[in-house]
Each structure stands twice: as structure tokens, then as C-alpha cells.
Structure 1
């Protein structure tokens, strides 16, 4: 059996804040909503679970300590520069921090980065 991603789970410090960011701010649709846990649909097929940070660490059997770059970023690929700019504005309006403003690259692309309220990085980019 080949491995596939069904749901991406993020350990967050404040589930209500993360839910507001991803659902109200970025337009996700709630699939499950329990105290300390929310799962929402993002776009056409991606699901994101938001779980209390300490509970997520306990669930995995690891320490809840950790900070800084987590070695992962999420990528949202759009069809145009205008869509990149729109997504960046929407995220910032929802409470994201723009980490790297959208700009053209020397290879012809266009992208920027924002971080969600828990510091998870999102790259918004054109397809090519």
C-alpha cells in the first residue's frame, strides 16, 4: 500500500484562534469541531486538523518543547500573480504575519510567505 496524506494535523497553542484564522479568515469549512480539536476542509480535497499543542505531543508520545523553524512549509499554488497578492492580503487580514512579501524571482516565478498565528509557514506562489 502506498502512503498518502489524508489530513495534516497542526499542534496549535489556541484552537479557537487557529479555527478563526483558518475557517473565518481563510475560508475553510468545518468538518469536525470538538473541545481542543477542529478539522476543516481547505479547498478541493485538503483537510487540516487543529489540535491543542500539548495534547498533540502527548498523542505522539514526544515532548511538547520546540520552537523555531520546523522544517516544513505549506504551499498554495495559484494561477496568477494577482491571485498570489489576493491570497497574501486575505491571510494578513485574517491575522497572518507576512514573512516575505510577494515578489518576482529571477526564474520567472512570483511568491511570498506568511506565517499563521502559531508560526507555521505558508508559501503562496504562481505555478510557473
Structure 2
């Protein structure tokens, strides 16, 4: 069972502010050098750990950039929430990666990144 997703971040305070204040994620644990968020019943926790410390913990070098082979997905019930979430992410220090738009398969989606470049796709199948 997947219980947590950990992200290595460059600036722990900045990342905590982005996820807590910008996206409204509920802080579960907040200690020196570690923050975790409760994403709701049935969801794994999201944990933040300083980038270099996370690399050291895994026994790998901290250098690396570009697409990391993963994205995180949010699935709200409306197009308005898609747009609101992208605006909130940008206001909190994130960036629009792909503007939200209608998809040929009938949904509506966009991408944003957090301040460390992690990709978040936000999708709804709602028609309004």
C-alpha cells in the first residue's frame, strides 16, 4: 500500500508555504527538516524533505534536473476548480506549464509546476 510520496525540495519553507497556503493542503507533521501533509482519507501523505538530504538518504548524488519521469494529478469536479487551482498555484510561487484547455477526449486539463519544478496535472471530466 502506498502511504506517502516524498519530494526533495530546494527550499523547505518555500515548498511548505506553496502546498499549505497556496494549495490548501493540511499540514500533518512539521519538524526541522521535514514537513508532511494529510491529503485526505484514502490518499497517501505528501512529504517534503530538503533536496540534498533526500539524495543522501537514498545514497545518490543530488545533481539532476529536467523531467523526472513523474507528475502528480488532481481531479476536481469542475472546470472552475481547475482554473482556480492553477491561479492559486501561480500566486503561491508556481508556474503554468500548460494552460488549461479542452481536451479532444472531452475533458479539461492543464499543468502547473511547484517552485521546485514538480509537475501537477489538474483534470476534470465535467462539461461545465
TM-score relative to the length of structure 2: 0.92
Give structure 1 stretches of 5+ with no counterpart: none
1:23 aligns with 20
What is the aligned partner in structure 2 of residue 117 from structure 1? 115
Q: Which residue of 2 aligns with 1:72?
A: 70
Q: Output aligned runs, 1:24-103, within 5 Å.
A: 24-44=21-41, 45-103=43-101
CA RMSD of aligned residues (A): 1.3
Aligned length: 125
Equivalent pair of 2:107/2:123 in contact (CA under 8 Å): yes
Tell me the distance in 1 between the aligned counterparts of 2:39 and 2:91. 18
Unaligned runs of 5+ in 2: none
- Superposed CA offset, 1:42-88 (max 9, x none): 24433111000010011111111110000000000111211211111
- Displacement of 1:23 in angstroms is 0.7
